Amino acid sequence: MKQLLKQPGRLLGLLFLGMSSALTVQQAQAEHDIRGISQGANGVFNLYAYPFNMNLPEGTSLYMWGFGDLDLGEGASHQAGANYQLPQYPAPTLIVTEGEAVTINLVNYGVPDNISIEMTGHEIDSQCIDIPAPGGPTPTTGATNCTAGLFTNEAAVGQAVSYTFTAGSPGTYIYHSLAGQNPGLHTEMGLVGVMVVRPADYDPINNRTAYGAGTGTDYDHENLYLMTEVDPDIHIQMEKGHKNHFTNTDRYAKVWFINGRVFPDLFQGDYNTLFPNQPYEALVMSRPGDVVLVRNVNAGQDAHPMHYHGENLRFIGRDGKMLSSDGAVADLGRSDNTINSQPKQTVDALWTWTGKDLGWDIYGHDAGHNCIDVSPRDGYADANSDYPGEWCNDHGKPIPVSLPGVGDLTLGGWWSGSPFLGDTGDLPPGEGGLNPFGGYFLVWHSHAEKELTTFDIFPGGSLGSVVVLPPGTPIE
Amino acid sequence: MKLFSKQALAGAIALALLGISGQASAIVNVQCPGDNNGDADWNDAGESQPANTKCMHLIAGDSYAMMSDGNPLYTFGFGDQTGTAPDQVIGEGILSAEWPGPTIELNEGDHFYLNLTNVGTVVRPDLFDPHTVHFHGFPNASAAFDGVPEVSISINMGSTLTYYYNIVEPGTYLYHCHVEATEHMEMGMLANLYVHPIQDELGCFDFGADNPGTTEYDPVRIPNGNCAAAVGSGGYVYNDGDGTTAFDVESAIQLSSFDQVFHDASLFVQPLPFALLEGNYPQFNGRGYPDTINPDPLPAPADATDPIADPAGVNGGKVTGTVGEPLTDGAVTQLLGSRIQLDRNTGEQRLLLRLSNVGLDRFWTITAMGLTMKVVGTGARHMRGIDGKNIYKEAASHNFGGGETLDIIIDTTDVAPGTYFLHATEVHQMSNATQLDGGMITEIVIN
């Protein structure tokens, strides 16, 4: 925190944007965890399904079908998710532990087709139930009023099904509806989400690993990057009730999402009431040297090449299976900056940005800071340095080129005005302003570039980002 | 459209700049250590190249490219003006954009100064688009030099932005403009970029402990004798330490596709079809077969009839109305063939394919009929697990999407001599729009 306020430019940036209050909030957890829900006091998830409309930033509205949390956020992982109860896109992220007995009670409150739940990588039992009460246990009476479908028991409007299974190996899984008159429609319409299975020895403070202690999958921050895509024509036909006006071969996606939002909405914070049915943001925050676990999920129907700026990712798992030669350590993963994401596949990967070997001092060579690398002598600044994690070989080296004046440049809204991390520079009125901490924004986006549009408007679509913040910046 | 002289066009751009930007200095400003006159080289009296330093001067502008069925398409792109005096760069740079852009070939350890001058789009004087270079896959990128305009800076018309890259990771990258990425990339601001490893100079080595007694953390490279320093044309793909990424001949091939509807909409100042974008000219290095096997630059683009909309040629030239009218001031824009030859009599056994995919709307699968393709690197990194085991993947084909790069080694030691075809397995991509036996095909000739 001390370094953060060292330079007047930074302090001014904080004050101007009213961000100074963020510094006084002490977080219960020091690092980022995926937002979601766990099984409530009765040991079950109670979900419902209902249609809703959500707005896109270019002005249109999409009719959707969504899963919502019937337990009103009782099992929410974060305070902001308590009391959250709307049908949402994507569906609530379910957070469980390997070996856990999982029950998902699903009631259809108003989706005009039979619905169900399939979980990738899992064999599910299902039975008809009465409609559960919010926060209640699995009803024990009734049990006859759902509909047998091709794959599993389905719930028509007013019906309920209980799905039970045992959570499999640690990793990332997709669940979705696959039922009714046109099963191919259901993920398109929004009935799709993620289940995260944590290792049995997981501890949010002392053992933050993807697959368990000793597997080489320790991380600091955990983020969901879930891709979906939508053909608005389908949603218009469904809103009109023209269920038979659609054939699967007509589908042609025109809007592309990360975590259920498009650019720039996806930068706007979790559970932001501006987006009542889209609770999950896609802006990832990190600091130099932090390890980010990316759960890269393609929950859509089309393939997406997801490209991560800033540094390569090391793959550690796929579809809930650790990439391992011996089952003990995640040793088989390759490194890439782009993930070949095929429909309903998940990839877990680790991403770390250090600033190493840029060849110039990312904190500014004349800023008067130190870089102490004694213990461990690994090239990076020790914890007692001004900027822990700084690559000391580059310390004190001036940036080798000068940047053109602002009159020769077009300035992005997230440009801080300075090439240095944690610094801000003078910008003309109305320019910049979205990056008060002087972070490095490095975009994470689909490299099928047509997907950076929302219904024919650029920029939009699946253009997300990570921001590398100066050491000491709080990350929630 | 009538063509004007370079000088007149440069003057028009200067006038436009005076009109719109009171504060912009709008000057070509090259930064290159040791270069005194701003031409980004060291060929003039009194200049000397500092050790491990490379400079380049790219322009970003527009031009035309000829599809292999004779269809001229309007393009945005990069051109190479390294060696041109600063006051000549805009005049020389207009209408000279190459498709794909100039290949950038670097060595590990280089200090790379990349100057980018925006010369404007003279065919579209209504546009004032800035441009960038995004060094795709660059490790530990800083925001300032990452070239993403929404989150950093981009260069306006008439001015120069110099990127600095300290080159430390060998492998196959690519570069492209990131401004209005869907439009500028579809229009052709895409190119090959790759980095040779230090192992080419040192031979195989292991990293030893930190240099004792020094202030910098600097582990020493200790030769381990597993391979010799590369001589001749071959080398290694990565610092593998065991010689397993050695090759004799390398070929960088970029897979892309143009959507004619999009390019014509841009040329004729129509709304751009982002949602409906769908490439119909699949290409290797900016050409469809049979132009892919032509090793020479294609002739400078000249106007022609639209082979799809006007197959009988009754409407004359698509762009100017006159068939044969030059579309550039003599600039050739398609320099890269992709035919590959291996002469095993001179020891050329192992072929390295540096494949990059810049498809905007689809994935491709690549195969070399009759040959085994071994992937030794992806995303500009050696395929090696954290325990040091190589995890190379041998197969007859590999699927990849936009933004993915593959380092593929084909060992021809036990292969019969002949001509082999490298092509997309989505065989409808072997076409130039409606012309069959085109698109993503090239030849590997093994003697």
Alpha-carbon torsion (A311, A315, A320, A326), positive or negative: negative
Give B 224-283 residues with CB within 8 A of chain A. 273-275, 277
* Residue B279 vs residues B186, B261, B266, B274, B414: alpha-carbon distances, Å: 9, 9, 15, 11, 37
Please tell me the distance from the alpha carbon of residue A339 to that of residue A232, in angstroms, as a whole number.
Answer: 26
Q: Is A285 on the interface with B (CB under 8 A)?
A: no
* Size of chain A in residues: 476
Which of A358, A441, A462 is the best substitution to test chain B (most B C-beta atoms within 10 A)?
A358
On whether residue A289 sits in a domain, the answer given is: yes
A160-201 tens-digit pLDDT: 999 999 999 999 999 999 999 888 899 999 999 999 999 999
Does A8 score more than 50 pLDDT? no
pLDDT exceeds 50 at position A24: no
A326 is a domain residue: yes
Instruction: Give whole-number Cα distances, A340 to A41, A306, B364, in Å.
Output: 39, 7, 11
Domain membership of residue A11 (yes or no) is no
Residue A455 included in any domain = no
CA dihedral defined by A264, A265, A266, A269, rounded to 10 degrees? 120
Beta strand segments in A309-370, E: 313-318, 321-322, 335-336, 338-341, 346-352
Of A157, A132, A161, which is closest to residue A144 (Cα–Cα)?
Answer: A161
Interface test with B, best of A284, A308, A309, A435 (most B CBs within 10 A): A309
Contact B179, B135 (CB under 8 A): no
Q: Using CA atoms, how far apart are residues A469 and B71, in angstroms rounded to an integer?
A: 49
pLDDT at A245: 74
Question: Would you state the pLDDT for residue B13?
Answer: 56
Which of A336, A407, A449 has its CB closest to that of B23? A407
Interchain CB distance below 8 Å, B362 and A448: yes
- Tell me whether residue A426 is in a domain: no
Report the 10 Å Cβ neighbour count for B256: 25
Other beta carbons within 10 angstroms of residue B320's beta carbon come to 17
pLDDT range class, residue A375, cuts 50, 70, 90: confident
Quick check: B50 contacting A, CB < 8 Å? no
The answer to whether B76 touches B446, Cβ cutoff 8 Å, is: no
Q: Is the Cβ–Cβ distance between B441 and B292 less than 8 Å?
A: yes
Distance from CA of B45 to the nearest CA of A (A): 23
For B150, which residue in chain A has the nearest alpha carbon? A412
Give the pLDDT confidence score for residue A14 in this predicted structure: 37
In a domain, A6, yes or no: no
CA distances, A110 to each of A105, A159, A246, A277 (Å): 16, 10, 20, 16
Is a pLDDT exceeding 90 seen at residue A476?
A: no
Query: Which of A356, A405, A439 comes nearest B140 by C-beta?
Result: A356
Name the minimum distance, in Å, from the CA of A457 to any CA of chain B: 7
Q: What is the CA radius of gyration of chain B?
A: 23
How far does A307 lie from chain B, in Å, by closest CA? 7
Out of A244-258, A425-439, B127-141, the most confident range is B127-141
Distance CA B225, CA B219 (A): 18
Read off the tokens for A116. 């169900």
Predicted confidence at residue B9, as pLDDT, reads 56
> CA–CA distance from A82 to each of A12, A270, A271, B172 (Å)?
34, 12, 10, 47
Is a pLDDT exceeding 60 seen at residue A54? yes
Tokens found for residue B20: 């719109």
Q: Which chain A residue shows the shortest CA-CA distance from B398?
A: A340
Distance CA A370, CA A363 (A): 10
Cβ neighbours, 10 Å, residue A260: 27
Taking CB atoms and an 8 Å limit, are B140 and A455 in contact across chains? no
User: Considering the domain boundaries, does residue A153 fall inside one?
Assistant: yes
Nearest C-alpha in A relative to B137: A337
Is A312 in contact with B381 (Cβ distance < 8 A)?
yes
- Give the number of domains in chain A: 1
Provide the chain B residues 181-200 that lie in CB contact (below 8 A) with chain A: 181-183, 185-186
- pLDDT at res. B301: 98
Block means of pLDDT (10 residues each) for chain B, length 447 residues? Answer: 51 51 72 97 96 98 98 98 97 97 98 98 96 98 98 97 98 98 98 97 92 81 93 89 96 98 98 96 98 97 95 94 96 97 95 98 96 98 94 97 98 96 96 96 97
Give the 3-state DSSP-derived string for B332-350, with helices as H, strands as E and coil as C: CCCCCCCCEEECHHHCCCE
The answer, yes or no, to whether residue A141 has pLDDT greater than 60, is: yes
Q: Which of B152, B157, B210, B261 best tests the A interface by mutation, with the highest count of A CBs <10 A?
A: B152
Please write the tens of the pLDDT for every residue from A79-90: 999 999 999 999
A207: pLDDT strictly greater than 90: yes
Which residues of chain A does B360 touch, with a Cβ-Cβ cutoff of 8 Å? 448-450
**Residue A208 domain flag:** yes
- pLDDT at residue A140 in the model: 77
More confident residue, A404 or A14: A404
CATH code where residue A132 lies: 2.60.40.420
Which of A163, A109, A103 shows the shortest CA–CA distance to A131?
A109
pLDDT on residue A15: 35
Distance CA B353, CA B250 (A): 6
**What's the domain range around A212?**
45-352
Rg, C-alpha atoms of chain A = 23
Any residues with CB less than 8 A from the CB of B402 and at least 6 apart, and which? A305, A307, A338, A446, A447, A448, A449, B357, B358, B359, B360, B363
Amino acid present at B86: P
* Rounded average pLDDT over A372-393: 94
ipTM of the complex: 0.94
Q: Is the pLDDT of residue A20 over 60?
A: no
Whether A265 has a pLDDT exceeding 80, the answer reads yes
